Structure 1
Amino acid sequence: MTSSSIISKKRLVFILIFCIISIVLFISRLVHIQLIQGLEFREKALEQWSRNIPVPAKRGIIYDRNKNTLATNISSYTVWSRPADILDAKKQSKKIADVLDMDLEEVYENVTKKQSLSIIKKWISKEDADKIRSLKIKGIEVVDDNKRYYPLGNFASHILGFTDIDNFGLYGIEKTYDSKLTGVNGRWIKMVDGKQKQLPYENEGFFEPQSGDNIVLTIDETMQHLAEKEALQALVKNKAKNVSVILMDPNNGDLLAMATKPDYDPNNRNKLLFNPEESWKPLDSEGIDEYKDIPWDKKSKLLYESWRNFSINDNYEPGSTFKIITAAAGLEEKVITEESTFHCDGYVTQIKGAKIKCWRYYNPHGSQTFVEGAQNSCNEVFVSVGLKLGEEKMHEYVEKFGFGEKTGINLTGETSGIVRPLKQMKKVNLATVSFGQGISVTPIQMVSAISAVANGGNLMKPKIMKEITNHKGELLEENEDSIIRNVISKDTSKRLLKILESVVFKGSGSKAYKAGYKIGGKTGTAQKVIDGRYANGKYIASFAGIAPVDDPKVVALVVIDEPSAGVYYGGQIAAPVAGNILKGALDYLDYIPKLSQEEKDEYENNLILVPDLKGISISEASKKLKEIELNHITYIVTPKEEDKVIDQIPKAGTEVKKDEIIELYLKNKPLNNNR
């Protein structure tokens, strides 16, 4: 056999082996594709052949505690385009733009995008949807949609919050319960060819969306209306920067109302409702237009401020409302009793180098019992209580009442306040904290702490959500009451409630008094801290109230931030607001007021004629009023003894009850105070 034949045979064998291997590899690959990767490739093919349009699910409804609707959905429509199916894009764009009142270029851009689906416009009316459908433009689909809607406008806006354009929660309840409120979107599926054109045969599929769950709040719509009305009136009347009103059921921590003014409308959250420079002034249509075209960076900052919930997002020095905590600690630790005696000479002398005055240093309260000191809101009395407790014990009660930590309420942006660490607390700090200065709290912390005093001593976790139901109304989850810790005994609670009732009946909180409603409470006035310093002329007035004190049903906290109408004392501007709210709340709860014999005697037999005090010095006026058992207050924090009275309220000749507070107006400049 020749060498050429041998070579030829080897080549044939090599080719044969190569072919056999190739066939085996090909078959193996085919088996792998068909059997092992078959499902994956079928899914990818289906993705290429099908195009689906999302059908938004209905977001869950938000109700008040009585199932009144606070946030819901309204039927709307969204226009989608399939760019590959649209013929003569310019002509069709013109038709669509005319119906939807849109810019032609914007529509044309959407219908010519290099993607399978594109939104032209969300949330159009049914009328416009019918017009678009009547055009019968191939490649244009009108899909049922849902738009979030708040039927009561700016009502409870800081609680409810708002959603984005895709109906996802961004703020408030909408944010914190977004996963519950958000449902599962449906799908409208169509089959297309390689050029993304819809295939002619019937192969569409529709998958129903699943609605989100409903949130039932603890908020009571009627009480919320009451709180918002009083908060708005207080904002405007006192020309304030902010006003916060909170109502809580002390027995379970349920928030019955939480109002912050100024506010916004979540239906149109990008529109200012109040003047940014003078936040107490609501804007009319012309005012809104004035701020319409300001730069976005400035506008966004203003809008963000309007969305802030002062009740949980901001810290403030509580002033004398914090004396309730000092009193609770003193009574619980038995360092004082109601009959403990104190002497006020106008100045705190126990701390060397510290200049701490009583608010009425120019006419000191003199000898008084602890109850009288509470009625007078005497700083010297509460400094003495704080010093008796000591730094460690006082700090312990501050923390036990929940200050310095978040309450855990399910709303966005809660802050924890500012409490000085124990190792940094000196005697002067102990003294100031005793009357509510040198400590920062949030309104929600304060109302929770006062509720612990009211309910027998248990600090409750505040609740804003009552329960969760499905779209059929079936109960899914119930928010149970939660006791964080016990802070004082029932006996201390009962004794302190009587003291607080006397503060309203006879003392500095008298403007919250409502005959027969047994309201207890404490006033507060504190100079405002800005950038770490006390700001001249800027104050926070507050009042914490409990009613009825013999069986507490409601705790109210009113905080008025930066009142600028002349008067800023909590007893003068916050107490009347709280009194109105507590009376209204008890009336709503069918409470029947009853006058005690003491009240009947006080108001029927012991009326006092107000003297004419104009032209005499504040020192003389103070002594003259004290002689006839009337109290007074001035808008000057630390007046000079020789300052003259230029006006008074009530006017001379008016009949008032014993211990009524007379407002005296002097010619001077306001300085610092805490009362």
Structure 2
Amino acid sequence: MKIIIFHLNIKKFFFSRFFILYIFILLALISLILRIIFLQIINPEPLIYQGDRQTLKIQKLLNIRGMINDRLGSPLAITVIVHSIVVNPNIVLKNINNINNNLCWKALSNKISIPLKKIILHINNHKKSKFIYLTHHISPKIGIYIKTLKIPGITIFKEIKRYYPLGNIASQLVGFTNIDGQGIEGIEKIFNKSLTGIPGIRKIRQNKKGQIIENIPLINQSQPHAITLSIDKKLQTLIYNKLKIAVKHYQAESGTAILTKIKTGEILAIVNNPSYNPNDIISYPNHYIRNKAITDLFEAGSIIKPMVIMKALQENIITDNSIINTQPYYIKKHLIKDISYHKRLNITEIIKKSSNIGVSKIALSIPMKKLSDIYNQFGLEEVTNIGLIGERKKNFLHKRKWSNFEKAKFSFGYGFMITPLQLAQLYTTIGSYGIYHPLSILKVNTLHIGTTIFSKKITKKVLNIMENVTKYSGNGEKSSINGYRIAAKTGTAKKIVFQKKHINQYVSYTAGIAPASNPQFALIVIIDNPKKRKYYGEKVSAPIFSSIMQKILKDMKIKKDSINK
């Protein structure tokens, strides 16, 4: 009986033990289930956050900046792949004692042209860093070679860099980008949004092998666009080289030239010298970066005299055969005179001899309102609106009353300021027989009719007069070209500082149209402060104009229209 009770007690004991164990297991399961419910349903955010930290990344989809091309598709600005070398000092310093004798480190030093001692010093100065640049923007060929050296602590990163094939030749126009790839000068800045597009952003999830298993777009990527300029690379280079020689020869402060296509208003070349290399801008002063063709103002001078003649012909104040008394005269106490004395001159001779007396007497016969209208119509009162940053204007027509002396000065270009770009617009319009085609820095694919602002008949008459300027005995004789009829006008003006005070320095300029029988191109050449005791337009800028235009007409295979003397 006792044995039976003992066995029963043992069974009861084991049963109670298992029961308690089952209870604990059940409680553990319930606790686990509750924990799972808490973590997965009630408060899942911390786990999601921890998981996302390990597997989820926000990735920026970078765009390759769009190209800037000339009118024929030749690149003016392109993006190239380059490599940069990064060092982890923590890893490198473990083997610092062996670097001096390490052949791989010596090979690295030779390839990137940095002395090994300088590399070691650079690493020692950043002991606590895990990421420092050793060098930027090396060629992919060098980067691949360094990668094969397999140096511990050295990593090669791919980067992008903007490259400008023409270098100095088109730098003020094209501009450049900063280290972040954003345009900060020239075309690069003006069309920055179009060139960069919108970089996409996506959220990706990776597995432990680094493979993308989830891709969630956050911002849709907008592709960058290429920009096609009106510039002709060949003509831009030609003019730059000619202008550079001229600036050096005359020991001038600077030179500017603009070439336009008359029938469309496209700018085929816009050149400044001195210039800078946008591939290495650190070594150039800031004033080299300025695009003087659009920012610099100068007194217009004799180069606008043809406009006064055009208005006088239109108003029937003069005729083709008019003779003007060109003896010096006074307006109150102000003497109006010419460089050389001429008792009488006809209309052609007034332009040919660049007579201040003749053109001022004609201007005094024109009502001021009508005289100022022509300057407005030719765009000398407003900026050209081609979109280039920094274009300046000088308002000069807003006075209510003009004295006769002011009116006289106004007629021969003294008393108001214009930019080289405005002058290019003026002669492009004259070359198109009075049809105004707004200047364009972008290639024009559709020919626009343009706006007629002056009669073709009168404009042709003045073109014929200007053509005589380039012939023998005219002030623009040195702008003539063998085999071609050229309509041109030279000018000279004293420089003005602070836009009001004349100084004893000069600006020499020539503007012209070729060929005169069927105008194709308008060219202006401006030389700022030439030395060597020469500063008149016919002595300085006219020969440069002739040299440039002759080469252009030849290279562009323009048919000759004159049998030369």
Deviation at 1:443, TM superposition (A): 0.4
Q: Equivalent residue of 1:74, what SS?
A: strand
| CA 396–134 in structure 1, closer or farther in 2 if over 3 Å, else same | same
| CA 591–88 in structure 1, closer or farther in 2 if over 3 Å, else same | closer
Aligned partner of 2:516 in structure 1 is 549
Q: Per-residue displacement from partner, 1:253-296 (whole Å, max 9, x unpaired)?
A: 11111111111111111224xxxxxxxxxxxxxxxxxxxxxxxx
Deviation at 1:104, TM superposition (A): 4.7
Aligned partner of 1:393 in structure 2 is 370
Q: Which amino acid letter does the alignment assign opposite residue 336 of structure 2?
A: I
1:90 pairs with one of 81, 86, 93: 93
Superposition pairs of residues 645-664 of structure 1, within 5 angstroms: none
Distance 1:331 1:490 in 2: 12
2:563 matches 1:591: no
| CA 136–516 in structure 1, closer or farther in 2 if over 3 Å, else same | closer
Aligned partner of 1:236 in structure 2 is 248
Aligned partner of 1:539 in structure 2 is 506
Q: State whether residues 251 and 530 of structure 2, in contact with CA within 8 Å, keep that contact through their aligned partners in structure 1.
A: yes
Distance 1:41 1:570 in 2: 81
Distance 1:160 1:355 in 2: 47
2:326 pairs with one of 340, 344, 352: 344
2:159 matches 1:145: yes
Q: State whether residues 92 and 152 of structure 2, in contact with CA within 8 Å, keep that contact through their aligned partners in structure 1.
A: no
Distance 1:330 1:175 in 2: 44
| CA 33–402 in structure 1, closer or farther in 2 if over 3 Å, else same | farther
2:228 matches 1:201: no
Q: Equivalent residue of 1:312, what SS?
A: helix
Q: Per-residue displacement from partner, 1:156-182 (whole Å, max 9, x unpaired)?
A: 111111111122211111111122222
Q: Which amino acid letter does the alignment assign opposite residue 286 of structure 2?
A: Y
2:181 matches 1:157: no
Distance 2:396 2:465 in 1: 27
Superposition pairs of residues 347-386 of structure 1, within 5 angstroms: 347-349=328-330, 351-360=331-340, 364-386=341-363
Aligned partner of 2:528 in structure 1 is 561
Deviation at 1:144, TM superposition (A): 2.5
Q: Per-residue displacement from partner, 1:567-589 (whole Å, max 9, x unpaired)?
A: 11101111111112222222122
Q: Per-residue displacement from partner, 1:60-109 (whole Å, max 9, x unpaired)?
A: 2222111222222332123467x7xx854634897989655465565577
Runs of at least 5 residues in structure 2 that lack an aligned partner in the other structure? 1-36
Aligned partner of 1:497 in structure 2 is 463
2:442 matches 1:465: yes
Percent identity reads 27
Q: Per-residue displacement from partner, 1:404-447 (whole Å, max 9, x unpaired)?
A: 32101232211123424232533222111100111100001001
Q: Which amino acid letter does the alignment assign opposite residue 130 of structure 1?
A: I
Runs of at least 5 residues in structure 1 that lack an aligned partner in the other structure? 1-26, 193-198, 273-302, 468-477, 604-675
2:56 matches 1:68: no
1:219 pairs with one of 231, 253, 278: 231
| CA 43–388 in structure 1, closer or farther in 2 if over 3 Å, else same | farther
Deviation at 1:237, TM superposition (A): 1.4
Q: Which amino acid letter does the alignment assign opposite residue 454 of structure 1?
A: G
| CA 45–310 in structure 1, closer or farther in 2 if over 3 Å, else same | farther
Aligned partner of 1:46 in structure 2 is 52
Q: Which amino acid letter does the alignment assign opposite residue 137 of structure 2?
A: W
Aligned partner of 1:575 in structure 2 is 542
Deviation at 1:213, TM superposition (A): 2.1
Aligned partner of 1:320 in structure 2 is 302
Distance 1:394 1:541 in 2: 25
Distance 2:325 2:66 in 1: 61
Alpha-carbon RMSD across the aligned residues, in angstroms, is 3.5
Deviation at 1:49, TM superposition (A): 4.9
| CA 127–112 in structure 1, closer or farther in 2 if over 3 Å, else same | farther
Distance 2:448 2:127 in 1: 55
TM-score (norm 1): 0.68
TM-score (norm 2): 0.81
Q: Equivalent residue of 1:248, what SS?
A: strand
1:124 pairs with one of 138, 142, 149: 138
Deviation at 1:305, TM superposition (A): 0.3
Aligned partner of 1:405 in structure 2 is 382
Deviation at 1:355, TM superposition (A): 2.7
Aligned partner of 1:642 in structure 2 is none
| CA 31–359 in structure 1, closer or farther in 2 if over 3 Å, else same | farther
Deviation at 1:452, TM superposition (A): 0.8
Q: Equivalent residue of 1:156, what SS?
A: helix
Q: Per-residue displacement from partner, 1:577-606 (whole Å, max 9, x unpaired)?
A: 11122222221221222434xx5xxx3xxx
2:453 matches 1:487: yes
Greater shift, 124-133 or 451-460, is seen at 124-133
| CA 29–357 in structure 1, closer or farther in 2 if over 3 Å, else same | farther
2:421 pairs with one of 425, 440, 444: 444
